[in-house]
Amino acid sequence: DGGITQSPKYLFRKEGQNVTLSCEQNLNHDAMYWYRQDPGQGLRLIYYSQIVNDFQKGDIAEGYSVSREKKESFPLTVTSAQKNPTAFYLCASSIDSAGPGELFFGEGSRLTVL
């Protein structure tokens, strides 16, 4: 079935360690997004990519990095520079970023920093 797969679902990390969250889609979508969600709050955009080999910072990009080497993959690295990384991370994709923009979301990755 087509969709978005995020892994791992749960991840624990020690302070000072980088961690990479995987996001893969088989929907043939051009645009991909990473959001962060903290308890009781809405989603905040970290990074987005409209096309392969191109990406832009969202509202809270500091301490994060991404790559878009393949259309179907958009991994997010949470670096040690991110001061409060414990959160729920959601990856999404859409056919393109210029049109109606129905976003399809993955099931999320929950990161806990110990």
Partner 1 sequence: DAKTTQPPSMDCAEGRAANLPCNHSTISGNEYVYWYRQIHSQGPQYIIHGLKNNETNEMASLIITEDRKSSTLILPHATLRDTAVYYCIVRRYGNKLVFGAGTILRVKS
Binding site residues, partner 1, CB under 8 A: 4, 33, 35, 40-45, 48, 58, 88, 90, 92, 97-108, 110
CA dihedral 84, 75, 60, 35 (to 10 degrees): -90
Nearest approach, Cβ of residue 27 and partner 1 (Å) = 13
Type of residue numbered 47: Y
Nearest approach, Cβ of residue 71 and partner 1 (Å) = 20
Query: Cα(114)–Cα(110) distance, rounded to whole angstroms?
Result: 13
Triad 41, 54, 24: Cα angle to 5°: 60
> Among residues 37 and 80, whose Cβ is nearest to partner 1?
37
> Among residues 4 and 78, whose Cβ is nearest to partner 1?
4
Nearest approach, Cβ of residue 43 and partner 1 (Å) = 4
